Amino acid sequence: MSEEYNIVIVGAGPAGLAAATTASKYTNKILIVDENIKPGGQLSKQTHKFFGSKNHYASVRGVNICNILLDGLSKEKVCFRPETSAIGFYKPDTLIIQDKEGLHKIKGNKFIFATGAIENMVSFENNDLPGVYGAGAMQTLMNLYGVKPAEKVLMLGAGNIGLIVSYQLMQAGVEIMGVVEASPFIGGYHVHAAKLRRMGVPILTSHTVKGVYGDGKVEKAIIHKLGGGFEPLHGTEKTIEIDTLCLAVGLTPSVELLHQAGCNIKFIKELSGYVSVHDDMMETNIPGVFVAGDASGVEEASAAMLEGNMAGLKAAYDIEGFNRSVFLNEKEIVEFELKSLRTGPFCERAQAGKKRLMVEER
């Protein structure tokens, strides 16, 4: 016998939790499954205060936003299963999940895949040596479990993640030997870069890592300068003694499950990889299957939460068919907030990507 739910959400990160928050206002029998031990996804690891307006939880720390979302979920309406992997979807209404007891069939009316993204890797010598960690892994160790992740770190990537995680590492007492960025420009907000510079951390643009070396673990890194065409400039090599190289070189949407389910998958460079085509309310080409958050294109947590709100709203509306003006009103609010969030020079890329995704869909 299989369990039955109105809405099944895969992923308990910002998008998944926001989807459950909105959906549970209008319907019940909602299930969230997540592979991890604790809910919250990457949101629970963000010790910095968020930007944006009050509606986007501005100046609230990510970890507190996560707690607000979790506390707001009604236990009668939303069931959470940690340490559970969603491993397959069968049209039109069956999800296969795996936990300690084995495989289970879950029946659902609507599905929201908020599967997030995975850290990118880059090519350099010995990039598989223990001590080459994704930025998210460093955050998991230090901000969720209170383990000092390293002593001396070199950060690769000066986007927001690279800058913010460098600062978080310093808060955990880790020495940051420098931030290395291949592009000639710092990709992240200058307020984050300025904070690091004030603490005396060098940010080296037009530089990259040639390789890391050591016996069974990272002991040093060699960096070099890059020319205008990103070619390595010989004779510019510098050796830096470190025990960990942290990679913050972007993320790739996790669309495996959506792909397997039969969603229309497109490569959109601006959204960081293969993403599932979806409409303005996050529904994919398979009726009743929604996507939200980084899995629909890598942005950041505030956008992920709004996309989750949108998907949760539409899924609940399709089930319950509640008052249409209430639905349209709430839709308009989320649309407006998404739009205002995506204005500004740092969001041009994501917005262009989303536009392409919608146009190509038609």
Partner 1 sequence: MRLKDHPVLDFKFEEKKKVSFIFNGETLYGYEGEPIAAALHDNGVRVLRRSPKLNRDRGIFCAIGKCSSCLMNVNGIPNIKTCVEPLKEGDIVKYQDKKGNIRGD
Binding interface with partner 1 (CB under 8 A): 35-37, 42, 47, 61, 63, 83, 85, 118-119, 121, 128-134, 136-137, 140-143, 145-149, 171-173, 216-217, 254
Q: Which residues pair with 3 in a beta bridge?
A: 106
Is the Cβ of residue 13 or residue 308 nearer to partner 1 in the bound state?
A: 13
Answer for the pair 191, 178: CB distance below 8 angstroms, yes or no: no
Query: Distance between CA atoms of 201 and 196, rounded to whole angstroms?
Result: 5
Q: Minimal distance in Å, beta carbon 139 to partner 1?
A: 8
Q: Minimal distance in Å, beta carbon 219 to partner 1?
A: 11
Is the Cβ of residue 212 or residue 319 nearer to partner 1 in the bound state?
A: 212
Answer for the pair 33, 10: CB distance below 8 angstroms, yes or no: yes
Is the Cβ of residue 131 or residue 288 nearer to partner 1 in the bound state?
A: 131
Q: Minimal distance in Å, beta carbon 83 to partner 1?
A: 7
Is the Cβ of residue 2 or residue 260 nearer to partner 1 in the bound state?
A: 260
Q: Minimal distance in Å, beta carbon 10 to partner 1?
A: 13
Is the Cβ of residue 142 or residue 310 nearer to partner 1 in the bound state?
A: 142
Q: Minimal distance in Å, beta carbon 91 to partner 1?
A: 25
Is the Cβ of residue 108 or residue 131 nearer to partner 1 in the bound state?
A: 131
Query: Distance between CA atoms of 156 and 2, rounded to whole angstroms?
Result: 46
Mapped onto helix, strand or coil, the DSSP state of residue 168 is: helix
Is the Cβ of residue 172 or residue 352 nearer to partner 1 in the bound state?
A: 172
Residue closest to 56 by CA, chosen among 314, 277, 299: 299
Query: Distance between CA atoms of 23 and 6, rounded to whole angstroms?
Result: 10
Q: Minimal distance in Å, beta carbon 172 to partner 1?
A: 5
Q: Minimal distance in Å, beta carbon 131 to partner 1?
A: 6
Going by C-beta distance under 8 Å and a sequence separation of 6 or more, which residues neighbour residue 328?
Answer: none
What is residue 144's DSSP assignment? Answer: I
| Long-range contacts, stretch 65-68, CB < 8 angstroms, 24+ apart | 65/14, 65/301, 65/305, 66/14, 66/17, 66/39, 66/40
Answer for the pair 79, 32: CB distance below 8 angstroms, yes or no: yes
Q: Minimal distance in Å, beta carbon 281 to partner 1?
A: 28
Query: Within 13 Å, how many C-alpha atoms sit on residue 166's CB side?
Result: 32
- Residue 273 Ramachandran class (φ > 0 left, ψ -120 to 50 alpha, else beta): left
Query: Distance between CA atoms of 200 and 357, rounded to whole angstroms?
Result: 42
Is the Cβ of residue 176 or residue 334 nearer to partner 1 in the bound state?
A: 176
